[in-house]
Amino acid sequence: MHTASKSYRAAVDAYLRWVTGRRSKWLVVAIGVALAGALGPLAGKLGPLEDNSPASFLPAGAASTKVAAFQASQGGGTALPAIVVFSRPGGLKAEDRLVIARARTAVAARLGASVVGGLQVSPNQVAAVFNVAVPTGAGSSTVAARVAAIRRVVSRFAAPATSRPRAGALQVAVGGPAGTAADARNAFAGIDGTLLIVTASIVALLLLLIYKSPILWLVPLASVGLAASWAQGAAYGLARAGFTINGMVVGILSVLVFGAGTDYALLLVARYREELQAHEDHHQAMAVALRRAGPAIVTSALTVILALVCLLLAQLSDVAALGPACAAGIACALVAQLAFLPALLCAVGRKAFWPFVPRKHNELRRDRPGAWVRLGGALARRPRRVWVGLTLLLVACSLGLLGYRGGVDQQNGFRSSVGSVAAQALVNEDFPAASAAPAVVLVRPASEAPKALAAARATPGIVAVGAARRRGGAALFDARLSSSPGSPAAQQTIERLRARLWIAAGSGALVGGESATNLDLSLAAARDRAVLIPVIVVVVALMLGLLLRAVVAPVVLVASVVLSYLASLGVSTLVFVHVFGFVGFDPSVPIFGFVFLVALGVDYNIFLMARAREEVASGRERGISRALGVTGSVVTSAGVVLAATFAVLGVLPLVALTEVGFLVAFGVLLDTFLVRSALVPALAIDLGPSWWWPSSLTRRASSSVPARGAPRLRR
C-alpha cells in the first residue's frame, strides 16, 4: 500500500512538472493543437455515417426489426416506400387526374418504372396516392437523395403542401417511411456547424461576463474548442466501428463537451486565481491549483463517464451509442482542461487576468461578506427549516408527473412543417386510417399462414387483411389498421394482433411495419428506464462514497439529485404539453434527462463537498459554510453555463432535442440555485458530524457545525 501511494505521488508530481514546466508547457500546447488538426477534419466525414431512421434505433431482437431484416434479405436489399399524395380540397377534377398521371410517369422516367406502384384514389375522390420504392443500400444519404428527386419532380405538377398553397389548389406531398427518414436526415443537414457556432458564442459571452477580462475568456474557450474537435473525431471512430450515430447523438455530444468542459475550466481557473495570491511564481500557483482542484474535477468527470458507459446496457441503439460517444467527449474535455488549459494559462501568465490581475500578498479574505458567505450564515441558523421547505417544493414540482405521457413519434417529432408529416395528414384525412402504413405480418413456416390470416381478421382494430405472399419458406401479408400509425390506438392494436398471432400460429408469427416500430421503440425505452436508472444511481453513489469516504453523505446527495430530477421532469411535463404544445415526451428523453441531470447534478455536489472536506480536514470551523462561501459563485457560474449550452439544443428542429435541452437546462438551474446552494448545505449542517460517517471526519466535523442560533460568521 505504501509503495502504491508513493508511486501515485510520483506520477502526480511528474504530471505537474510536465504540464506547468517552463519549457514542457509549450510541448503540451503543441500536442493539443496537433491532435485537433488530426481529429478535427474527421467531423466533416461524420455526416454520411449518421443513421436517423427510426428503425435503426431498435434492438436486433425486436419483432419489427426481424420483419424488416427478412424483407431486406428476400428483396436483395432494403427498400422503403415513399408515398406521393395529391389532394384538392373539394374533390379532384378530371384535369387533376391527368396531371397526376403525368407526374407518376415523370417519376417513373426519373427513377425507373419498376419502383413506382399503381395509382389509388381515395373513396371520397379528394386525393390520390402512389408508392415509390426507395433503396437504402447505400445509407440514409441515398434515401434523402431519392426522396428529394421525387419531390422535385412532383412539385412541377402541383403546389407542395408544406408551402401553404392557395385555397382550393391541387397540392402534393411526399411521405411514408422513406419521406420520414429523409426529413429526419435533412433536419440535421448543416446543423452541426450552426450548433457549434451558437454554443461557442453563448459560452464566449458568458465567459466575458464572468471574467470581465478581454483576454481570459479566450483561454478556456480555446481549450473547450479543442476538446470538441477531439470528441467529434472520437464519434467518427465509433460510427466506423458500427455504433448507431445519429444527429441527436452528435448534437448532444457537442453541447455536453462545451458545457462540461467550460465547467471544469471555471473551477480550475477560480482555484488558480486563488493560488496566484499566495505564490509569486504563476507556474507554482498552477501546480498547487491542479493538486488541490484536480481530484474533484477528475472524480466529477469519472462519475459522468461511468454513468454514460452504463448506457451500453440500453436496448435502444441511439441510447447505447450516446453512452460511449459522450463518455469519450467528457474524457476529451477532462484531458483538455487538466493538460492543455493549464499549459496555456502558464504560457500566457498573470496578464491573462488583465485588468484584474491577482498579485501575491493581495491576500484573499476567505470570509469576506459576500452573498454566499451570508447565505452560509443563514443556513447555519435555520438549516432544518430550509431543507424541509425546499424538499416540499421539489415534491410539489414532481406532482406534474401525474400528467406525464408519451406520444412523440416519427410523425409528430418535427417542430416545423415537413413533407412526410404533411403527406400523412393528407392520407389520414382522405383515406382509410393507416392505409399508407399497414402492419406487415411475417409467418414462419408458411404452412401456418391460414391460421395467422384468420387470427388477424378477427383482431379488433384490423379493418382489412391482404393476401399472403410466399417467400423463402415464409409468408407475408399486410394488415390495415383502423387508426393512424403514430396513435396509441394503433399500438394497442399491434399488441392485440401479436397476442392473437402467438396463440394461433406460434412464435414464428411476427408483426412489423411503422406502427409496430413505434410500439417496439416505446417498449425498449420502458425497459431501458427500468434497467438504467437503478444502475446509474448505484454507480454515482459509489463514486461519491469513494471521494468522500463516507456513507451518509453519498446517500443523501444522490437522493437530493434524484428528487431534483423528478421535480424537473414534473415541471417539464406541464411545459411541454401546455406551453410548447407537444403531444408528450419522446421515449428516450427521460433516459437522457436522467443520466445528464443525475451525473452532472452530482458534479456540483462533488465540487462543494470536496472543498468542504478539505476545510474540515484542515481543522477549520464551519466547513460546509466556508465551502459554500468559497465555491458558491464559481459553481453557480458553471451551472448557468451548462444550462445555457443545453438550451442551445432548442435551435434544432426536432421535438426530442428541444425536450432534452429544456429538461436538462431547467434541471441544472434548479439543482444549481436550490439543491446545491441551499438544500444540500442545510442538510449537511443539520446532520452535523454524522454527515461524514463513518470517516475520521466525523470527529473533526463536530467543530464545524455551529450551534442553533449561532451568530453570523465573522467577516
Domains of the chain listed by start with CATH number:
1-45+190-364 (1.20.1640.10), 61-186 (3.30.70), 367-416+529-715 (1.20.1640.10), 438-512 (3.30.70)
Most confident range (mean pLDDT) of 239-243, 387-391, 434-438 is: 387-391
- Rounded distance between C-alpha atoms, residue 468 and residue 211, angstroms: 70
Q: What is the mean pLDDT of residues 410-421?
A: 74
Q: Which three-class secondary structure state does DSSP give residue 120?
A: strand
Q: Can you give 428-475 as a three-state secondary structure string?
A: HHHCCCCCCCCEEEEECCHHHHHHHHHHHHCCCCEEEECCCEEECCEE
pLDDT digit string (tens) for 483-526?
Answer: 777 677 888 999 999 999 999 988 889 998 878 888 888 888 88
Q: What is the mean pLDDT of residues 214-225?
A: 87
Q: Which residues pair with 580 in a beta bridge?
A: none
The answer to whether residue 672 scores a pLDDT higher than 60 is yes
pLDDT at 343 (0 to 100): 92
- Chain centroid to CA 576: how far? 17
Rg (CA), the chain: 29
pLDDT digit string (tens) for 84-130?
Answer: 999 988 888 889 899 999 999 999 888 887 778 888 888 888 889 88
Range in 280-289, 654-663, 691-700 with the lowest mean pLDDT: 691-700
DSSP 8-state class, residue 368? -
Give the relative orientation of helices 176-187 and 419-430 as an angle to the nearest 10 degrees: 150
Range in 364-373, 418-427, 638-647 with the lowest mean pLDDT: 364-373
Most confident range (mean pLDDT) of 7-16, 59-68, 284-293, 600-609 is: 284-293
pLDDT at 714 (0 to 100): 39
pLDDT band of residue 256 (cuts 50, 70, 90) is confident
**Burial (CB count within 10 angstroms: exposed 0-12, middle 13-18, buried 19+), residue 520:** buried
Q: What is the mean pLDDT of the chain?
A: 82
**Burial (CB count within 10 angstroms: exposed 0-12, middle 13-18, buried 19+), residue 90:** exposed
Segments of 256-361 assigned E as strands: none
The number of helices, as runs of H, and strands, as runs of E, in the chain is: 24, 10
- Rounded distance between C-alpha atoms, residue 207 and residue 215, angstroms: 10
Cβ neighbours of residue 265 closer than 8 Å, sequence gap 6 or more? 220, 223, 224, 337, 341
Beta strand 462-465 pairing with 79-87: unpaired
pLDDT digit string (tens) for 41-84?
Answer: 776 666 666 666 655 667 778 888 888 878 777 654 456 788 89
Alpha-carbon dihedral of residues 382, 387, 388, 389, nearest 10 degrees? Answer: 90
CA contacts within 13 A on the Cβ side of 189 = 11
Whether the upstream peptide bond of residue 681 has omega within 30° of 0, thus cis, is no
pLDDT at 435 (0 to 100): 56
The answer to whether residue 566 scores a pLDDT higher than 90 is yes
pLDDT at 618 (0 to 100): 59
- For the chain, give the percent of residues with pLDDT over 70: 87
- Rounded distance between C-alpha atoms, residue 143 and residue 185, angstroms: 9
